[in-house]
Copies of this chain bind each other. A is one copy, B any other.
Amino acid sequence: MRAALMERGRIWVDDPPEPIPGRGQVLVKSAACGICGSDLHAAAHTEEFVATSLEAGGAFKLTSLDPVVLGHEFCAEVVDFGPDTARRFRAGDLVCSVPMLRASPAIPIGYSTQTPGGFAQYMLLSEDLLIAVPTGTPAPIAALTEPMAVGLHAVRKARLRGSEAALVLGCGPVGLAVITALKAAGIGPVVAADYSAGRRAFAAGQGADISVDPRHENAFSHPDLKKPEDVVIFECVGVPGMLDNIFVNAPRNARIVVVGVCLQMDHARPLIAVNKELNIQYVLGYTIDEFSESLTSIADGRFDVDKLVTAQVGLEGVADAFTTLRQPDEHAKIIVSPWQAG
């Protein structure tokens, strides 16, 4: 089969063997698979990514420097069944799944040399984790289930009462997922901040009430955050220094939800956080229920994500897409379609 492989940052298309479904597994065609910021990071800083993964035990999954087929934001089409499967689906059905293959220990799909990710024509999924894509939802849209689940989970963990104003720092795919989930939950106003004009436009498209350029305006003091004692701040950037900056600028009693993953040692002044009695909730991933709810919300339009797919490429376009995504202005989500030419 055709697949895009990645080894220490180099990305090329090759012909690895087609995988064979084992017990409880289903052979699927990868119909569409989004490129995630973590994929970019894994490619640009493979050794650091692997080291961090081993150290943190769970947050990041890549554990080998050998060639790997990335891609964990996929929508797939059922092809065939392995032994001991209930055959709940039929060949041709579109399905999604959390990016995990049942095993002991579980295999992270898209970050393992043991099984291909979504940037290959074929992959294996665990049958009991499959979720049917509702009729009428195209594969590239269903492929947004995974990143949107991240936003849904972050909003859930924020324990919102409904009266809060929200400030979303960073409008990359994670920030956009948070904004989408916030608006679907009826939270407002949502103030979004990003240095990129393109990303601010995407934020507005997902329902952000105000979009702010931090170069010209301090998002924290925006007049629409009128009840500063009831502000929830979503940190969706994930670089060192963000937290200290939030400590300095946040209003008293603010709640901070850290969704952006800072991979380095970070520094902050606790005295400022103490003085304001800030609360920080670190979040990661999503539950299986939230993943399923994300797909349902996409299918029924509560999560309006059509505008987030800004390009579709074939396997030959993966390497260029990784380069293009380093410029954050143009694209929200590039979808890889392994069966598309080019």
Contacts and interface: CB of A to CB of B under 8 A. Distances in A.
Contacts of A57: 275
Interface in A106-158: 157
A106 to B, nearest CB: 15
Contacts of A59: 271-272, 274-275
A271 B267 contact: no
A102 interface: no
A242 B279 CA distance: 17
Contacts of A55: 271
Contacts of A267: 265-267
Contacts of A263: 271
B282 A278 contact: yes
A58 B280 CA distance: 20
Interface residues on A, range: 20 to 34
Interface in A273-294: 273-284
A267 B264 CA distance: 10
A262 B266 contact: no
A261 interface: yes
Given A279-B281, A281-B279, A282-B279, A269 B274 contact: no
With most chain B CB atoms within 10 A of its CB, the pick from A157, A243, A265, A271 is A271
A273 to B, nearest CB: 4
A177 interface: no
